[in-house]
Amino acid sequence: MVQIMAKDDAQMKIRLPPSLKERLHHRAQRSGRSMNAEIIELVAEALSQYHYDEAERDLPSIGGRPSEDDLRYELDQLQTRMDVINEDIFAFSDRLSNMKVETSHDAFVRQMLIRRMSELNGESEKLWDRSKIIKQTLRKNSAGEKISPDRREPGSEDDQ
């Protein structure tokens, strides 16, 4: 996802060990992004998997409650990742349906594709659950209510 940076976006300097900087450089080249864009992508991905708990909400200096913009950004990142996963699953499924298992290598590749599809499906389910929590939190926030991002209400429209 291409992110346009504004002049008023936060800036910071970080120190990286040379080996980590080199790995970051190669990863950015492979993905066709600048090192800055790659860092943003990696941090956003890592934070999208992070779940706020009650103790951290009471300590703003450690984590604090995410802003509406943070939640919307996370939701956007989750949706982007789920789209990629769905494309991968579709491609794997298509490859499996057209695959002829004639050698032991073919059988191995087939097993690996099935295993990867299962892993992607599990990841997608976790992302979906997190997106439901964020949507619920955003709805409650827009209604003026306070709700913990990790609390779900049974029977909400996202549960269907």
Comparing 70 with 24, which gets the higher pLDDT?
Answer: 24
pLDDT at position 35 is 87
Q: Which domain holds residue 127?
A: 66-153
In a domain, 126, yes or no: yes
pLDDT band at 44 (very low <50, low <70, confident <90, very high): confident
In a domain, 39, yes or no: no
Of the candidates 156, 141, 159, the one whose C-alpha atom is nearest the C-alpha of residue 67 is 141
pLDDT at position 72 is 87
Of the candidates 151, 104, 112, 107, the one whose C-alpha atom is nearest the C-alpha of residue 132 is 151
Per-residue pLDDT at 154 exceeds 80: no
Contact of 66 with 111, CB cutoff 8 Å: no
The number of folded domains in the chain is: 1
**Burial status of residue 158 (CB atoms within 10 A of its CB: 0-12, 13-18, 19 or more):** middle
pLDDT at position 14 is 85
In a domain, 124, yes or no: yes
Dihedrals phi, psi of 38, to nearest 5 degrees: -65, -40
In a domain, 6, yes or no: no
Comparing 65 with 115, which gets the higher pLDDT?
Answer: 115
DSSP state for residue 8 in the 8-state scheme: T
In a domain, 148, yes or no: yes
In a domain, 31, yes or no: no
pTM as predicted = 0.49
Joined tokens for residue 40: 């943003």
In a domain, 51, yes or no: no
CA distance from start to end of the chain: 28
**Burial status of residue 130 (CB atoms within 10 A of its CB: 0-12, 13-18, 19 or more):** buried
In a domain, 48, yes or no: no
